[in-house]
Amino acid sequence: NNVLLEVKDLKKWFPIKGSGFGKEKAFVKAVDGVSFTLNRSETLGIVGESGCGKSTMGRSVLRLIEPTEGQIIYEGEDIMTLDRKALRAKRKEFQMMFQDPYASLNPRMTVGEIIGEPLEIQTDMNSKEREAKVLEIMDLVGLNTQYIRRYPHEFSGGQRQRIGIARAIILQPKLLVCDEPVSALDVSIQAQIINLMEDLQHHMGIAFMFISHDLSVVRHISDRVAVMYLGHVVEYAEKDELYNNPSHPYTIALLSVIPTVEKTKREKIILQGDLPSPANPPSGCCFHTRCYKAQQICKECTPELKDLGNGHMCACHFPGK
């Protein structure tokens, strides 16, 4: 079975303060019924504007924040049903990487301690064994092993992200959720980190969920790409299929404004209006308030994700150009 992770109808609703208590209870529907699969050793890109729910979705999938409902089937087991202890044991296999490694690295710990900490928490290795493993991983991610006793502030942004990667992979996870892992880095450093991640995936067989607002970076690294809007996945497909043949009006608009090397020029579609509040999402299709193709049915009836062929999934009543 090639499927590592299957997410079904995942929701994360945050209650709004002061609602309830005689008033109607209100929620911010940050993630509102997301479904997708992730194969072993595959990279699934998750794109969308800021505020579309992609970070919340990434954290919910690992239960770093508790989902409101849904199923997260990992290697055939629904991890929503695991108690804390069982979940902690599973944590070895899935890790998270963040945009700003500096914020997530303890400034008072040496690089060796930071990278080796997961071994201390999750394994019974002694300190000598841990240090040997840390040196091996530092080497693997391209960090000078002589710097093992240095502190995070002594490293550049790109090196810190290597430290973050080393820490994330030291337990040999099967799944790594990466939230904007290169967005804070210069473009030349971005390329180095992306290449490193691809090498590690090849070498260790890790599946990535790669969350980014940057459609060009996602195109480079992903096998498949999912597009999120207002807490929903509105389209997902094989990378080339999605970029060459986008079918949801939101995806078409997003792709129309990124610079491409292709000769066929697409007409730029500038979306009108603001992103609606996830506390008060539009009826029917969540995109209808900004969609250039919207019809009456779009306001009344929520489109389901449907397979347009070969696993190209799209949630729109009028998919295509």
C-alpha atoms less than 13 angstroms from C-alpha of 212 in its C-beta half-sphere: 25
Of 55 and 247, the one with the shorter C-beta distance to Mg ion is 55
Pairing mode of beta strands 232-238, 313-314: antiparallel
Answer yes or no whether residue 288 interacts with ligand SF4 by CB under 6 A.
Answer: yes
- Minimum gap (Å) between residue 297 Cβ and ligand SF4: 7
Total binding residues toward ligand SF4, as defined by CB under 6 A: 13
Q: Does 212 interact with Mg ion (rule: CB under 5 A)?
A: no
Subset of residues 106 to 145 that bind Mg ion, contact rule: CB under 5 A? none
Give which of ligand SF4, Mg ion, none residue 79 binds (C-beta under 5 to 8 Å, depending on kind).
none
Smallest Cα–Cα separation from 232: which of 70, 80, 25?
70
Contact in structure between 43 and 221 (CB atoms under 8 Å): yes
The item of Mg ion, ligand SF4, none sharing an interface with residue 29, based on CB under 5 to 8 Å by kind, is none
Q: Are 306 and 234 in contact (CB under 8 A)?
A: no
Q: Does 266 bind ligand SF4 (CB under 6 A)?
A: no
- Which residue of 294, 305, 312, 313 would you call a contact of ligand SF4, by CB under 6 A? 294
Q: Using the rule CB under 5 A, is 55 a contact of Mg ion?
A: yes
H-helix or E-strand containing 4?
strand 3-15
Q: Does 303 bind ligand SF4 (CB under 6 A)?
A: yes
Q: Which of residues 221-260 bind ligand SF4 (CB under 6 A)?
A: 248-249
User: Considering the complex, what minimum distance in angstroms separates the CB of residue 292 from ligand SF4?
Assistant: 8
Rounded Cα distance, 181 and 193, in Å: 9
Cα angle value 121/122/127 (rounded, 5°)? 65
| Beta-carbon contacts of residue 203 (< 8 Å; ≥ 6 apart) | 140
Stretch that binds ligand SF4, among 44-52, 138-146, 204-212, 282-290 (CB under 6 A): 282-290
H or E segment to which residue 3 belongs: strand 3-15
Q: By the criterion CB under 5 A, which residues form the site for Mg ion?
A: 55
The residue ranges that bind ligand SF4 (CB under 6 A) are: 248-249, 285, 287-288, 291, 293-294, 298, 303, 316-318
